[in-house]
Structure formats: C-alpha cells, structure tokens
Amino acid sequence: MSLYDVAVPTMKRTLLSLSEILKKAEAFAEERKIEPSVLINARLAPDMFPLKRQIQIVSDAARRGAGRLADVDVTPIEDTEETFAELQARIATSVAFLDSLTPEQFEGAESKTITLPVGGTELKFDGTTFLMAYAMSNFSFHAVTAYNILRHNGVVLGKMDYLGKP
C-alpha cells in the first residue's frame, strides 16, 4: 500500500463527509431559525478554534500534507470564509486538488525527508512518519472537532455521518 493509497482517498472521503455534515448544519440552522453564523463561529471551549477555522485547517492539512508528499506546490487559500457556501467552496477546492494528484507523484515519498517549521524550530520526518504520525493525525483531529462542534450544538449527526460513504 502506497502513501497515496493511505492519504488521498482517506482525506477525500473525510472532506466529502464534512461537506455533507455542513449541509445538515445549514438545514438545521434554517429549520430552527438560527443565524448560520452562530454555528459557523461555534466552538467547544473558549480557547478552541470555531467551526470555520476547523474546516480551514482540515482543508489546509489535506492539501499541504498530500502536496508535500507528492512534491506539488500548494496555492494557499485565504481564511475568509463566513458562510456555509464559502466553507463548501473551500472543501470543493481541496477535493479538486486531491483529485489532481496521481499515485506516481507519491513514488518514493516514504523515504523523502519532510521538514516543517513549528514554533520556532523544525521538525523532520521521513515521508511515512510524516503522513502517519503528523499529517493524518492533524487532519483527523480538526475534522472530528468540526463534527463535534456541530453535534454539541444540536445538529443531528451520527458516527456514519463522520465516517462517510465507502
């Protein structure tokens, strides 16, 4: 199994699940006459990022993580989303980026050195460790936090909403 096989389909599936979760959240807000910005700016704790930032980080983690392994430059997306439609567009951009990658671009990525600037220092990983211990963990943390924010705020969601369709 290649790093492409681990990263790209998994990240794409989770992004598509988050898209469906956001649709449910938008419908929930409309049905309950809740201003959408209430959910978009909701957070689990005062010192945690709100929903919109969780989605921004998830999309960045997918594009940057896969891009580093595939040696593809990733165009930054400005963090300006304030609506469900804008969050959906960001997810769609990230899915399109993942769709543009090929398994061949990941050949040899297992032994590639990935260097990340973190908090004034640099972390160095081989490709496999980067994907499994950093990129996927970071991606999954923010994806599940987005789910949890909406679930905490009453959006009817279950485990299968998060796991998505195979």
Q: Which structural domain, as residue segments, surrounds residue 63?
A: 3-157
- The beta strand positions in the chain, using DSSP E, are 113-118, 121-126
- How far is CA 64 from its chain centroid? 10
CA pair distance 105, 18, nearest whole angstrom: 26
Is residue 98 included in any domain, yes or no?
yes
Cα(147)–Cα(4) distance, integer angstroms: 25
- 121 conformational bin, left if phi > 0, alpha if psi -120 to 50, beta if neither: beta
Per-residue pLDDT of the chain (166 residues; tens, 9 = 90+): 899 999 999 999 999 999 999 999 999 999 999 999 999 999 999 999 999 999 999 999 999 999 999 999 999 999 999 999 999 999 999 999 999 999 999 999 999 999 998 889 999 999 999 999 999 999 999 999 999 999 999 999 999 999 987 7
Number of domains in the chain: 1
The predicted structure's pLDDT at residue 58: 98
Q: Could you tell me the CATH number of the domain that includes residue 145?
A: 1.20.120.450
Give the model's pLDDT for residue 119. 87
In a domain, 103, yes or no: yes
